[in-house]
Amino acid sequence: MIKKYIAVLACVLSLPIGHAVADEAPITLRFSHVVADDTPKGQGALMFQKLVQERLGGQVKVEVYPNSTLFGDADELQALQDGKVDLLAPSLAKFDQYTKQLQIFDLPFLFDDLEAVNRFQKRAKGRQLLRSMEDKGIVGLAYWHNGMKQMSANRALHAPADARGLSFRIQASGVLEAQFAQLGAKAVPMPFAEAFAALQSGKVQGTENTWSNLYSQKLNTVQPFITETNHGVLDYMLVTNSRTWYAIPHKTRTELEAIIDEVTFAVNHAAEQQNQADRQRIQSSGKTQLVPLSPEERQAWRTAMQPVWEQFTPEIGADIVKAAQIVNRKQSQ
Ligand code: LMR
């Protein structure tokens, strides 16, 4: 009897247990986000899932939960830290509890266009910000574009004073709150998933978002006017939890990073196109009037929001603000 136990034990001990488990059980990465599948981020998540399945099938499995079905804005970052989800791509506005530096992306009228944002993200200062939350266990893997934000309301906003007295749904961000305060408007932070109902019920009368987010959440159907302000950027940081990430075997992690680079390239090239297509769809619906701004009108908005820069530059860091301003000058490339 004892001999039999010893034989079984010897057999068990000689098995490369770690390997057997690692080989057999795929690593599951749960990717949760708050937007629809047919948006730049939604498409990026699905492409990541597909490429991982093709190249690392059997080793890594990606589960995608769109539209706040697993976690929403209010709890997704906590869930990431608690290891309840492995990948998120929150808008850069949503990290201000974790680092003040990323508020750079919310400063109104800082970046001329998405090209300028792209240049900033690729340069040293921009890349450095991917590591700005490592002390909180959050690792930035890539920047993904959505696009430039437009301002919508139940009345046409031509001049900054037109926003006075209205309530706007915003992403929870100190800079965005200050931006609307500067216009004499009220900012109401709320999760993305609640924006449609709040606009429909009249709890808020306006909002700001990209064409693809406005269209995919049908926000345009409850907003009679959208002013083409292009006043700020709504981009994402693909993030993971450092414990989860560094527990993945090095070789697999390197392959995942290569896939992420490929997906990032695709998302960042397709985002602007998607936004322009959705702008066109909103316009063609005939239900929402698009309000263009002349260069002089746009300058008036820009000037009205300058105090927000002064308020937030000290906490963001003057060096970061300067590095971002430089990218607008195309000739400096
Ligand atoms: C929003 O809350 O408006 C956006 O951040 C949603 C998103 O993830 O694009």
User: Of 173, 179, 213, 216, which is best to mutate to test ligand 1, by the most ligand atoms within 8 angstroms of its C-beta?
Assistant: 213
- Among the ranges given (12-16, 252-256, 258-262, 321-325), the one the predictor scored with the smallest mean pLDDT: 12-16
Pocket test for ligand 1, best of 73, 169, 177, 179 (most atoms within 8 A of CB): 73
What is the reported pLDDT for 1? 42
Measured from the CA of 191, which atom of ligand 1 is nearest?
Answer: 2
Mean pLDDT of 277-303: 97
Domains assigned to the chain: 27-326 (3.40.190.170)
State the average pLDDT over residues 138-144.
98
Residue 332 amino acid letter = S
pLDDT of residue 278: 98
Per-residue CA distances from 190 to 37, 78, 135, 136, 153 (Å)? 21, 17, 27, 24, 16
Q: What was the pLDDT predicted at 328?
A: 84
Say if residue 333's pLDDT is above 80. Answer: no
> What pLDDT is attached to residue 25?
82
Please, what sign has the CA dihedral across residues 97, 99, 102, 103? positive
Average pLDDT, the chain: 92
Instruction: Tell me the average pLDDT across 20-36.
Output: 82
Q: What local confidence, expressed as pLDDT, does residue 8 receive?
A: 39
Using a 6 Å cutoff on CB, does residue 91 contact ligand 1? yes
Going by C-alpha positions, the residue among 45, 140, 29, 48 that lies closest to residue 94 is 140
* Range 107-134 average pLDDT: 97
Find the DSSP H helices in 226-249: 242-247
What confidence score (pLDDT) does residue 12 get?
Answer: 35
Q: Percentage of residues in the chain with pLDDT exceeding 70?
A: 92
Is the model more confident about 111 or about 20? 111
pLDDT score at 2: 43
Of ligand 1's listed atoms, the one at least distance from the Cα of 146 is 9
Whether 192 lines ligand 1, by a CB cut-off of 6 Å, is: yes
Q: Where are the alpha helices (DSSP H) in the chain?
A: 2-14, 17-24, 40-56, 76-81, 114-122, 124-128, 174-182, 195-201, 211-216, 242-247, 250-285, 295-304, 306-316, 318-326
What's the gap in Å between 151 CA and the centre of ligand 1?
14
